[in-house]
Amino acid sequence: MQGKRVLVTGADGFIGSHLTEMLVKQGAKVRALAQYNSFNHWGWLDDSSYLADIEVVTGDVRDSFFCQKITQQIDIVFNLAALIAIPYSYIAPQSYIETNVNGALNIAQGALNNQVERVVQISTSEVYGTACYVPIDEKHPLQPQSPYSASKIGADAMAMSFFYAFNLPVTIARPFNTYGPRQSARAVIPTIISQIAGGKKQINLGDTTPTRDFNYVLDTCKGMIELAKCPEAIGETVNIGSDFEISVGDTFAMIRDLMKAEVELIQDTQRLRPEKSEVKRLWCDNTKIKSLTDFMPEFSLEEGLRHTINWFTNPKNLQKYKTEIYNV
């Protein structure tokens, strides 16, 4: 990445901010897109110790003219700009199409017009739905079990169409469940940690039977960068995961024990997905990324959870979270 001119969209978010910092540390010249707002807030980039080395721009991937501008003089694009929360996609599905699908189109068109060397479109394991077989490889059927997952299937297809139709060098990076510092409380691991850290004795969760392949955020970012550097990954869809499966209930128990907390698990019905929408099982087959690159997960789940707990239990960080309400 040394000297590469890199655009990271969604750089103000959880994964995007970590990816931006990792790229800066590797010598890249990073243009970081934060979503425009009148407060001039840059999300997690506001707190970054690398801010002086980052070119922050604000805008919106829904605007094609803006995407033409920000992809100028760029070598590599990581498109992480997306609406992410599954529960909110039940309420406002059209906004997911506008940001996720149209955003992917606008970034791909801008990258094509500006002769960008590489586009890494960031997908999600949610596109697979409940596993038909495990572990899940890249040939697994796609199942849109929520408007969010449908929008990400559409975004991936739109980006890949530019590879086939216009020879744009696209890679679809498909991470499984990423966790770590800065993650939204709408995700299960920060939900558990923040409630315990906030002093609650009864921890509200939805269904605890589904399984997930959890990946520490720095491992996910490392996988994305490895794919961006790999010529053989052009035109390919590649999973990023640990090849390890654990239930939400067992994850709760692990966090409870690591935090030495005496807490009770309560099922909160408002946190339950519609029955046919719940993804019951996700377990990553990471054979492909290991064969294409030098990627190997560095953080065990326990080690990653310890880092995440340490971050969330810092009062300065915890105060950014509303632990007393359900974050849709």
pTM of the model: 0.97
A 10 A CB-CB count for 3 gives 8
5-178+214-240: CATH number = 3.40.50.720
Burial class (CB in 10 A: 0-12, 13-18, 19+), 57: middle
Please tell me the predicted confidence (pLDDT) of residue 36.
97
pLDDT tier at 301, thresholds 50, 70, 90 = very high
Q: In the predicted model, what is the mean pLDDT of residues 15-27?
A: 98
Please tell me the predicted confidence (pLDDT) of residue 328.
83
Please tell me the predicted confidence (pLDDT) of residue 327.
80
Q: Looking at 130-203, list the stretches that DSSP marks H as alpha helix, in order from N- to C-terminal side.
A: 147-166, 188-197
Q: Give the DSSP H/E element, type plus range, for residue 259.
A: none
Q: Give the DSSP H/E element, type plus range, for residue 267.
A: strand 264-267
Q: In the predicted model, what is the mean pLDDT of residues 25-30?
A: 98
Please, what CATH class does the domain formed by 184-212+244-292+300-318 belong to? alpha beta
A 10 A CB-CB count for 306 gives 14
Better-predicted residue by pLDDT, 325 or 318: 318
Q: Is the pLDDT of residue 249 over 90?
A: yes
Please tell me the predicted confidence (pLDDT) of residue 166.
98
Going from the C-alpha of 186 to that of each of 63, 191, 229, 234, the distances in angstroms are 27, 7, 32, 33
pLDDT tier at 322, thresholds 50, 70, 90 = confident
Domain spans of the chain, in order of start: 5-178+214-240, 184-212+244-292+300-318
Please tell me the predicted confidence (pLDDT) of residue 325.
84
Residue 125 makes CB contacts below 8 A (sequence gap 6+) with: 136, 174, 175, 176, 177, 213, 239, 241, 282, 284
Residue 272 is given by DSSP the state P
Of 202-206, 226-230, 322-326, the poorest mean pLDDT is in: 322-326
Please tell me the predicted confidence (pLDDT) of residue 13.
98
Q: What is the pLDDT of residues 259-278, one digit of tens each?
A: 999 999 999 998 999 999 99
Q: In the predicted model, what is the mean pLDDT of residues 9-22?
A: 98
Average pLDDT, the chain: 97
For the chain, give the number of residues.
Answer: 328
Q: Give the DSSP H/E element, type plus range, for residue 6.
A: strand 5-9
Please tell me the predicted confidence (pLDDT) of residue 251.
98
Q: Give the DSSP H/E element, type plus range, for residue 214.
A: none
Please tell me the predicted confidence (pLDDT) of residue 324.
80
Q: Is the pLDDT of residue 323 over 90?
A: no
Distance CA 112, CA 105 (A): 11
